[in-house]
Every structure is written in C-alpha cells, then in structure tokens.
Amino acid sequence: MEGWIRVGLGEDAALSKGGPAPGPGSLEIPGPPAGYARGGALAHAAPALRGAVARAAESALELLSPTRCCGCERLGPLVCDRCLGELTLIDPAHACLRCGAPYGDIVCTECAGGGAADEPRAGGADDAAIARCLAMATYEGPLPRIVRAYKDAGERRLARLLAEMLLDCALHAELAAPERYGGILSTADAVCFVPATAAAFRRRGFDHMEQVARPLAEMAGVPLDDVLLKHGARDQRAYGRAGRRAAAQGLYEVVHGLEGMRVLLVDDVVTTGATMGAAAGALRRAGAARVDALALARVWGG
Ligand SMILES: [Zn+2]
Ligand SMILES: [Zn+2]
C-alpha cells in the first residue's frame, strides 16, 4: 500500500511550477477507467503567449524567492518526492467507509461507538447522509505542513497538486477496492466542495477548497457544482471536538435543488466528520440521491 501518489515528480514537473501540462511521469495509474481523460483537460490549456508570459513571471519570481518543498523546506518542487513518499496513505480496501479512517474494514471503532462516552462519535445525526467516505492519508508526517502552507501561508500553487492527489486517491480506490469505492468519482454527477466561512474567505482571499475542487472536476470530466453556502461561524479549528459538531449543524444550505444527483463532496481534512456530515446532510435534503465524501486527510490517533 504505497507509491500510488505520483504527482509532482521531479523539478521539471509542470505541477511544481503551476504550468499547463503534466510532464511524463506524472499522474501514472495503470488503466484508469474509461471516461477519464487524465491530463486531457490540461494538454491544450493555455495559449502559447499566455504560457510564455506566465513562465517569464514565474522565472522572475523563482529568482527572487526559489520554490521550496512545503513539507520539508528543501529547494525544489512544491512537494518533493521524499515528502510524497512519507505520506501515510490509507488503504481503501480497509478504510472505514463511514469516516475514511484507516483500518476500519467496515466501520472504525469511533464510528461503531467505541470512543470515550463524553465525546460525540465520529458518526452522528448527519453522518448517515454520507454514503462512503474516502480519505487519502492520515493527517501526519508532511501532510499537515502541506495543508497549512496552502490554507494559511497562501501557497496557492498547491491547489492543483492537491487536486491531483485527490484524483489519484479516488481513481486508485475505484481500481483497488471496486466493491467498496467503485464509481465514487467516475459515476458522480457533480463535484461539490465544503465552502469556506466568510471569515476564512476574507482572511485567505480565496475559497481554498473551491480552488482544489475545480481542477479535480476538470480532470475527472465531472461538472463542478458550487452549490453549498456556509453561514458565518468562527473557524472550525477554534472549537473543541463537541463544539465543532454543534457549530457545524445547520450551517450549510444549498442554492439549488439536486434531485436524484450523485454528488462527490470534497474537503481537506476530516477530523470528527461533523463538517462533512453537515454539508452532506444539506445536499441530501436538497434531493441528492447519493453523497460520497473525499478528503485529503483523516485525523486518526493522537
Ligand atoms: Zn519535502
Ligand atoms: Zn469511521
């Protein structure tokens, strides 16, 4: 269970510089399901001139402030091969279907109610709204640094790399565990994302998951549906575990109906599952026939 994340290989990989086309060696998963044009959306992306201007600007920026790995600070690509290799990938054949935790097989101990009595379970009222949850890796090693570099340090070039990670994760799960995660992306009618709070949006200047979900949807050939709205509220990280669940309840609404649609909901980090559950609940109430969840990371252990 290692090595299937193949994004960002080598210093010249387009991903490391935000260029238009993935180079050879990137994104290699044998035999993707029919219907996926991997990299196809990128192959004819930017007109030559725009590409040249962008490259010149990037070169100038690169001289002033050379790219360092967001995981380990080494000079080189945005995320180096070593840090990619240190991701603790979750095996989709043994993940908890309900929350994406590793070693769940069917449902993990938290979802099965094995947690401390005074803490809400990862499962809860709205968790039934999520048909299947898939997370790429546990939230440890270089991954927290990479996520923080993107969300808090403004390294927006990571958006595309994170999208490719999610794509690789979903395609791998569809191939490696078809009886569990089959069609999670390839049969989705829409990709949705958990929207940022208004405060987070103001602070960062961008909706971090929208910027990841958009290229993911493009690469997968699935429409992006920016359907969820989030009301106010403080940054979720400011809450404790129980408060987080309460805060997440009822914070989402949708801007149009989703009758009969199969939706893939993406977010960055699953902690208790409260956020994903609340967003998925709103999607289901809007008529979605199925809501699956896909995340970069699942907080597990510790
Ligand atoms: Zn690194
Ligand atoms: Zn679980």
pLDDT in tens, 201-229: 889 999 999 999 999 999 999 999 999 99
Q: For position 25, what pLDDT does the model report?
A: 38
Q: Which ligand is nearest to the CA of 75?
A: 1
pLDDT at 38 over 70: no
Q: For position 250, what pLDDT does the model report?
A: 58
- pLDDT per position as a tens digit, 147-198: 999 999 989 999 999 999 999 999 999 999 999 999 999 999 999 999 998 8
Closest CA to 207 of 193, 218, 220, 221: 193
Amino acid identity, position 87: L
φ/ψ bin of 50: left (φ > 0), alpha (ψ from -120 to 50), beta (otherwise): alpha
Interval between CA 11 and ligand 1 midpoint (Å): 12
**pLDDT exceeding 90 applies to what percent of the chain?**
56
- pLDDT per position as a tens digit, 122-147: 444 465 899 999 999 999 999 999 99
Tell me if residue 166 falls in helix, strand or coil: helix
Contact present, 138 and 301 (Cβ < 8 Å): yes
Q: Could you tell me which CATH class the domain 89-298 is placed in?
A: alpha beta
Angle at 37 between CA 32 and CA 42, to 5 degrees: 130
Helix (H) / strand (E) containing 252: strand 252-254
Q: Which ligand is nearest to the CA of 276?
A: 2
The model's pTM is 0.76
Interval between CA 278 and ligand 1 midpoint (Å): 34
CA distance 163 to 212: 5
Interval between CA 101 and ligand 1 midpoint (Å): 24
Alpha helices in 154-295 (DSSP H): 158-176, 178-181, 198-204, 208-220, 241-248, 274-285
Q: Which ligand is nearest to the CA of 104?
A: 2
Amino acid identity, position 145: R
Interval between CA 162 and ligand 1 midpoint (Å): 15
Ranges of each domain in the chain = 89-298
Confidence band, pLDDT 50/70/90 cuts, at residue 68: very high
